[in-house]
């Protein structure tokens, strides 16, 4: 779209390095499905359950500081 900045190019190596830097700092949360809702929606739905976090999830700002 006009006026939008292009997404920065990120290499696989940069992603792998960032993953190493945040390893152990970010908690994985489950992704659940529901066949009843899939049927009603006519497609597969996936729910990222942030409410299952044991502690407050990292904010985007905190994650950005960790990967720099």
pLDDT digits (tens, 9 = 90+) for 33-62: 999 999 999 999 999 887 777 665 566 667
Taking the whole predicted model, whether its pTM rises above 0.85 is answered as no
pLDDT confidence of residue 61: 67
CA–CA distance, 52 with 67 (Å, rounded to integer) = 24
pLDDT digits (tens, 9 = 90+) for 22-36: 888 777 778 999 999
CA angle 20, 30, 52 (to 5 degrees): 100
């Amino acid at each position: 779209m006009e006026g939008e900045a292009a997404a920065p190019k990120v290499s696989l190596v940069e992603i792998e390095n960032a993953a190493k830097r945040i390893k152990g700092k970010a908690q994985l949360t489950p992704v659940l499905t529901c066949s009843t809702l899939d049927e009603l929606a006519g497609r597969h739905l996936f729910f990222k359950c942030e409410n299952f976090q044991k502690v407050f999830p990292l904010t985007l700002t905190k994650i950005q500081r960790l990967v720099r």
